[in-house]
Amino acid sequence: MIFIILSGVGAFNITMFSTYGENVTLPCKNVVYQNCSSTTWIYNNKTSGIIELVGHGKIKSENTERADRLSVGSDCSLNIHKVKARGAGLYTCRQFLHEGGDQTGVDYSVHLTVLKISSSLKQTEMRSGTTVTLYCSLHHKFTTCNDLVRTERLRLSWVNETGADLQNTPTVKISHLSQCNISLTVELQDQDNQREWRCQLTKGKEIQTSSITSNMCSTFARYGQASKGLEQSILDILILVLGLWHGSPELYLGATK
């Protein structure tokens, strides 16, 4: 789910909130030629400089790391497939009637933020009794966190399956590292297997959610397979010993065929 906020800040027209890994469509509201031949999209995150993503309606293939996940919509919007945290920043739709010509009209800019959860443990390391810390971050590369939260009246929180805020308990600790970065430290229990941990971004009545599941089944399955393998090895040894005891090695051979 994506929600859009009209911005009162002059640097950009709208702010869009997205979740890591989802598909995002950035609108362009200043199109001149409907076939998009006048449309250029540029990206800026204030640190790596300006990157031209689309020139006169065509994806710039030299930006291979980005180009594979970009496309231009029929309305000249910019489609981003499986948005990443580093994709946060300012996207500007700009119009040029001719290649090498002057810009026509004004910019239409979209400030894209990305909500992402990361974990201190890999899924295969999650098992009952271990402690894991989950980090929920709102990535924003063209404004400060304080300005973003104050202007848009945002709230970041950890919630349960019903949407109610999680509370600190003996096995759960919530920390607010900043208004755009919160953590959840959990001592995993058996009942947490397949549990979904949710981070929620709230803007008024609009909600954006990112989640991660503590999938401990693979760990249990691996232990189970190892146990079965050990049981089979012990059984094979017993059969061999019995066969030799009775002077019948073929007993072992026949049992293991």
Contact 94, 102 (CB under 8 A): no
This prediction has a pTM of: 0.78
Phi, psi dihedral angles at 8 (to 5 degrees):
-95, 0
Same domain, 33 and 71: yes
Q: Is residue 219 part of a domain?
A: no
- The sign of the dihedral angle between the CA atoms of 60, 64, 65, 68 is positive
Position 61, amino acid = S
- Please tell me what DSSP assigns to residue 86: G
Residues 168 and 72 in one domain: no
- Shared domain check, 122 and 33: no
Residues 56 and 157 in one domain: no
Cβ partners under 8 Å of residue 31, min gap 6: 38, 39, 75, 76, 93, 95
Cα-to-chain-centroid distance, residue 167: 24
Q: Are strands 195-203 and 181-187 parallel, antiparallel or unpaired?
A: unpaired
Asked if 202 and 234 sit in the same domain, the reply is: no
Contact 131, 36 (CB under 8 A): no
Residue 106 belongs to a domain: yes
Q: In terms of domains, do 104 and 45 share one?
A: yes
- Same domain membership, residue 173 and residue 204: yes
User: According to the model, what pLDDT value does residue 217 have?
Assistant: 55
pLDDT for residue 219: 40
In this structure, which amino acid lies at residue 7?
S
Given 48, 83, 114, the domain boundary residue is 114
pLDDT computed for residue 234 by the predictor:
56
Give the model's pLDDT for residue 204.
84
Q: Quote the number of domains for the chain.
A: 3
Per-residue tokens: 127: 């098992």
Q: What is the pLDDT along the chain (257 residues), one digit of tens a residue?
A: 444 444 433 456 899 999 999 999 999 999 999 999 999 999 998 887 899 999 999 999 887 678 999 999 999 999 999 999 999 999 999 999 998 899 999 999 999 999 999 999 998 899 999 999 999 999 998 788 999 899 888 999 999 988 999 999 999 999 999 999 999 999 999 999 999 999 999 988 889 999 999 988 544 333 344 444 545 555 565 555 555 555 555 544 444 44
CATH of the domain at 189: 2.60.40.10
Residue 18 forms beta bridges with which residues? Answer: 114
* Domain enclosing residue 99, as ranges: 3-114
Run of H or E residues at 251: helix 249-256
Q: Cβ distance 27 to 112 under 8 Å?
A: no
Verify that 140 and 173 share a domain, yes or no: yes
Q: How far apart are alpha carbons 241 and 5 in whole angstroms?
A: 76
Cα 119 to Cα 55, 146, 184, 186, 206, distances in angstroms? 38, 24, 10, 11, 26
Inside any domain, residue 245: yes
**Facing residues of 71 across strands?**
79
* Residue 203 shares a structural domain with residue 230: no
* Cβ atoms 192, 236 nearer than 8 A: no
Asked if residue 206 and residue 122 are part of one domain, the reply reads yes
Q: Compute the 3-state secondary structure of the chain and give helix, strand, coil in percent, each to the nearest 5.
A: 25, 40, 35
